[in-house]
């Protein structure tokens, strides 16, 4: 059974487990001006302050986290996102990323670190067996 083929069905079983592991994985979190304005409001800081303290430019893109810049992004010690209500689209749509669903290997690798995805796959497989 191809997990990549059943992406939509698997994701319908996904529930975030609030472990914060997705925020700790190496990668880039790109933001646009709308994201920056929303996160600034949520943090109650000016856009200038936000830009100076939380944003860098990488290859012409505004980034709030990368493997070498703010590697924990806005993750607090209790594994909660400090800007959860205004988090960027990449964070909102995780784990529905094309890079994760490229192959069985990439899905399984992500499921090893994401408990919610692992549980969604397990629920999906159970539902298939029961039908």
Does the residue 94 lie in any domain?
Answer: yes
pLDDT tier at 26, thresholds 50, 70, 90: confident
Does the residue 13 lie in any domain?
Answer: yes
Q: In what order do the strands lie in the sheet with 29-30?
A: 29-30, 61-65, 56-58
Does the residue 60 lie in any domain?
Answer: yes
Overall pTM > 0.95? no
Residue 100: strand, helix, or coil: coil
- Beta strands at 29-30 and 56-58: parallel, antiparallel or unpaired: unpaired
Whole-number Å distance between alpha carbons of 74 and 66: 12
Whole-number Å distance between alpha carbons of 47 and 96: 29
| pLDDT, mean of residues 91-103 | 92
Angle at 30 between CA 120 and CA 52, to 5 degrees: 135
Does the residue 2 lie in any domain?
Answer: no
pLDDT tier at 2, thresholds 50, 70, 90: confident
Per the structure, the complete domain to which residue 14 belongs is given by 7-130
């Amino acid at each position: 059974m191809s997990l990549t083929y059943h992406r939509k069905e698997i994701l319908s079983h996904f529930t975030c487990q609030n472990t914060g592991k997705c925020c700790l994985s190496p990668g880039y979190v790109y933001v646009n001006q709308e994201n920056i304005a929303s996160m600034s409001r949520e943090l109650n800081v000016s856009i200038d302050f936000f830009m100076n303290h939380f944003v860098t430019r990488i290859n012409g893109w505004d980034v709030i986290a990368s493997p070498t810049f703010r590697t924990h992004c806005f993750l607090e010690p209790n594994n909660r996102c400090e800007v959860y209500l205004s988090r960027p689209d990449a964070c909102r749509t995780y784990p529905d990323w094309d890079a994760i669903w490229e192959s069985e290997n990439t899905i399984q690798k992500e499921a090893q670190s994401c408990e919610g995805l692992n549980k969604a796959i397990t629920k999906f497989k159970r539902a298939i067996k029961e039908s």
